[in-house]
Amino acid sequence: MLKWIILALIISVLIGTLAVTIFVQREAPFRSDSLGAKGVKRALILYHPSRDAQFSDDLTLAIARGFEDAGLSVDRQTMTKDTPVKPRNYAIIAIVSNTFFWQPDWPTMRYLNRSDLNGVPTIGIMAGGGATERARQKLIKALVRSGADLRDTRSLWVSKPNDDMRLHENNRAVAGDIARSFAFNAARRVIAQGQVASQAGQPGSAISGVAIENGNTHASPLH
């Protein structure tokens, strides 16, 4: 009798886990929002909404503020079958994915597997509870396969401290601060590199700290 009770409990747990997984990983409807002030250049945030903790949603808003701080206008879109797979006319793209069972969420991977980011400067954020490194590495590989000009990635967490020097602060608020700064710094670097490339094409211009070989400008990559 005990054996059947244990078996029934195991089956119940498996069914419950499967139901939760399908719920949180189910593709959201396509949605496109314009966030922040109008800028000369545009940034795009692509994300899968977090149905359990709304963590990725909050991170996209922080990223949008960082891009806006850098002088960019911001579009935010969910990653779905209807999301344009060849986003164009963007100075930078941010991908925000959730970690489920040590993997990026399904909508993120499906989108990146069919997308063509065509050399657009891109940053990635892997959101999760704490164990996100394996998922982040998989996100990096998917971004590279998509053709993105990958500049940087990082993980941000709900449970694990995001900054050991700010343990007394709300961890989600700290994550938001980090995401905002991360986006701002990446955008400013991209804008600066664009200005350098523009100046390099002008006759007689002298660019300090940038190597120009065979007509190509090589600026320092993000780290």
What pLDDT does residue 103 have? 92
Domain range for residue 164? 27-216
Number of domains in the chain: 1
Would the CA dihedral through 100, 103, 108, 113 be positive or negative?
negative
Q: pTM for the whole thing?
A: 0.79
Average pLDDT over residues 37-64: 89
What pLDDT does residue 168 have? 95
Average pLDDT over residues 114-130: 95
Asked whether residue 56 is domain-assigned, the answer is yes
Asked whether residue 106 is domain-assigned, the answer is yes
Average pLDDT over residues 71-75: 95
Q: Which amino acid is at 166?
A: R
- pLDDT classification of 114: cutoffs 50, 70, 90: very high
Average pLDDT over residues 39-54: 87
The answer to whether the CB of 117 falls within 8 A of the CB of 147 is yes
Q: Which amino acid is at 168?
A: H
What pLDDT does residue 22 have? 54
> How many Å apart are CA 57 and CA 62, to the nearest integer?
9
**Of 110, 106, 103, 191, nearest in space to 146 by CA:** 110
CATH code of the domain in which 156 resides: 3.40.50.360
Residues in the chain: 223
CA distances from 133 to 21, 46, 64, 78, 153 (A): 20, 20, 24, 23, 11
